[in-house]
Each structure stands twice: as C-alpha cells, then as structure tokens.
Amino acid sequence: MVPLRSPRARPPRQGNELEYQPLHESARPHSNPPPGLGFQRFFQVTVIIPLLLVITVIVAGLMMMAESNTSKSHLRLSTVTGYFLQDEPTTDPDTFDYVASNFGLISRSYDSDAEFDPDGRRTQWERFEYLINKLNAESGPKTSYRLLYLGRHGEGYHNVAERHYGTEAWDCYWSLLDGDENGTWVDARLTPVGIAQAETAHRAWETQLDNKIPFPQSYYVSPLNRCLATASITFRGLKMPHTEPFRPVVKELLRETIGLHTCDSRSSKTAILAEYPEYIIEDGFAEEDPLYDSKLRESDTARDARLRDLLQDIFTHDKNTFISLTAHSGAITSILQVTEHRKFALGTGAIIPVLVKSIALATSGDDGVQQQSTANDELGNSNEWTASGNDTARQETVNAVEPNDGNTTSEPKIFLQSEFPADGTVSQAETAGGWNAITPGP
C-alpha cells in the first residue's frame, strides 16, 4: 500500500486578507445580451452624442454673439433743431422766459400739416406732436425720435450759500462743509423761492395743457431731495396721465456732478421712500450713496459719459416718445452736450424741451464715435489731494468743477487750508479773481 500523504498546511490569513480562488474559464457564467442592445449603443455613439455636442456649440455661439452685440452696441444721439427757440444761436439764455414763450416752441408750419391740419384748426403743439409721431412711424427700426422735457430743480439752500460767499470761496471751502450758521445744505432742500419756482412750473404746465402739449409718458427724477421735491410740486395734481398718483422713477445717474460738494450727496434709500413713498426706485438702487466721495470731484468728461449712459439706458428700455427728466444744471448741461445741442444754461426752476434723434449702431466706431466708458471709471480723475506739512492742498484742473450756477473755473488753482484764518474769514489769496471777505463758518 502506498501511504497517504497529509495535505500541505496553508499558512493562516493575515487580518482581512481575502482568499484568492482562481476561476477557471470553464466556470465563468455565460449570458447573451438582450435583443437590440448593440444597436442602441451604436445609435447613442454615432447619433445622439454628436448631436448634443453640435447643439451645445450652437447655443454657446449664439450666447457669445448676443453678449458681443450687447457690449458693442450704442446709440448715436443728436438734437433735431429748428423747432424751439432754445435751439437758435440768437436766443439769450440769460433773458429767455420759458413760461411766456410756450416753452420755446417756434410758431411755424410743418410738412405734415397738409395731411393732419389742412383747415388750420389745430394748435402748434398738436401739429408738432403729429410730426414727431410721423417721424417715428416712417423711420427705420434702429431710429427713433424722443421729446425730452428737461427741468432744473428750484432754488436750493446751496444756491443761496454760493451767491452769498461767491463761487470761488464756495467751491474751495464752503461747499465742503455741511452748512453754516444759517443752516445745512447736505442734500440741499428747496428754499421758499425754490418752492415758488416749482409752483410756477406747475402753472406753466397747466397753461400748456390748454395748448394741447403732448403729455409726458414717462417721468424720471434725480435722487437728490431738491429734485424730488421740484418734480412733486411741478406735476402733482395736473390733469395728465401718471400724475395721480405721481410716480416718477428715481434714477441714480441723473444726479448732479458727483463728489466734494456735500450738497450733491444723496440721502439713503429708506429716507427717500419715507418722504416720497409713491416714487419708484430703480432696480439696483443702493441703500446708501455709493457715488459720493468727499475728496474727489467728477470731471465734466466723466459726467458727460454718465449722462450718456443714462440716456442709453432710458432709450433702450423705455419706448415712450415724450419723457420728462427733473435734474440739475450740471446734468442738463451734459445731456445737451451728448445730444449735440448748443450750450444753454437754465436758471433754477426752468424747463427746456429738446427733440432728440437716436440711431442704434451695431458696433462702436461705425460713425467715428467711440464707445463710452462707464462714468464710475472716470470719477475724480482730474482731481488730486496732496499734503505739504500742515497744509492740505486741493488742486482742481480745468473743467474739474462745475459750479451750481453753470459757470466753470477758467484755470487750474491750488487752494491751501492755511489760507483760511482760524476765525473763518478769508483774506485776499493769490488767485486770479481774489477772495471777497466771508463770514465765519460753523
């Protein structure tokens, strides 16, 4: 007999080590794929996946094209002259009376009179409204005509202070303060005279309503208090659409030249709505003033860009033809500038209508007009604050300051804090115009 050998002992497994048991080929399970599975996989690989890729590429391309067109498109704006006295070089802004002159509408005939008013029974405003609507109806999809009613706020306490101290002293010292012994001018409010000027504008609108002036279809207002109040006094109670209740849209970019002057800082969103709860605050309007800077003053160029952006925004999203804007001397100066209107300074409480033609251009540079940068990028670029010993100097370059009376400084000047004695009075400084003595400040 052959002795049986004992099986070789296996070494014990270590820890969680799994025992390896080879699976012979003959022991592998065999299964047939379900019918049609091969075709489905072939269809997915050759048709569905490529189709999805193509759709993704097309959608991405369309989105990029849309973004490209949006970023490059802009409006070319120009004033259509010959309809208002304010367009004419012979009209003197200092003596012009908008109330007595039918808002400046020139008494004349139009080419459209033959079809609209062959018997001559319509008012001048009715015939002018028909002409504008006809221009819009006959223009292409990229061209439009808008009649802007630009109204400046009534007199504010800051205007009184500037007259009292003089423009130079106001610009370099008093405008930087919150007020004087007579009161405050931060986000300046209307004086009794300013309220009366807004009431005059209200009555002027009533008269023009009798003359069949085309109603404003949209109302926009600066967020500064003097404009909020002027718009309310001017339009509330008029027998016009959208004035009962009067609900203008508050636009951040419609404000006065930004920076330095405390009168040009705005109140909080909460404070505005508390005083004017019916007003509509535009989307994205910050609670606190995001633009005011106590050390930098917006240049005229930056202000022009800001107001151009404002008009582009309004003309793009508001298809109405007759639009009211209640604003400031600086803002209106820039609107006239970017619409190629002649310079025309408005007194406090005054109104100027402007017929504006806009042409949508697909890309910048088509007409030699460069696309404008945003106003925020240019705020204060023309101002510098420097320190020398104990003296703080403010340098303002040409056109860096737009005084509230519409006049610009004629040359660069540097004003030192040491020029102002401790008692608040100012002696003669070495400037072109010199100083007038002013009373102590707060």
CA pair distance 109, 122, nearest whole angstrom: 11
Active site (annotated) includes residue 256 = yes
> What are the residue boundaries of the structural domains of the chain, listed by start?
75-360
Per-residue pLDDT tens, the chain, 442 aa: give them.
445 444 444 455 454 444 434 444 444 445 555 555 565 665 555 666 667 666 766 766 665 555 444 445 689 999 999 999 999 999 999 999 999 999 999 999 999 999 999 999 999 999 999 999 999 999 999 999 999 999 999 999 999 999 999 999 999 999 999 999 999 999 999 999 999 999 999 999 999 999 999 999 999 999 999 999 999 999 999 988 877 889 999 999 999 999 999 999 999 999 999 999 999 999 999 999 999 999 999 999 999 999 999 999 999 999 999 999 999 999 999 999 999 999 999 999 999 999 999 999 975 444 444 443 333 333 333 332 222 333 333 333 333 333 444 443 333 333 333 333 333 333 333 323 333 333 333 3
Of the residues 129, 155, 252, 256, only one is catalytic, namely 256
Active site (annotated) includes residue 153 = yes
- Architecture of the structural domain at 75-360: 3-Layer(aba) Sandwich (3.40)
pLDDT at 81: 98
Of the residues 74, 153, 158, 261, only one is catalytic, namely 153
Residue 13, classed as helix, strand or coil, is coil
* Single pTM value for the model: 0.69
Q: Provide φ and ψ at 387, rounded to 5°.
A: -120, 135
Tokens of 390: 């104990």
Residue 60: count other Cβ atoms within 10 Å of its Cβ: 10
- DSSP for residue 426: -
Q: Provide φ and ψ at 58, rounded to 5°.
A: -65, -45
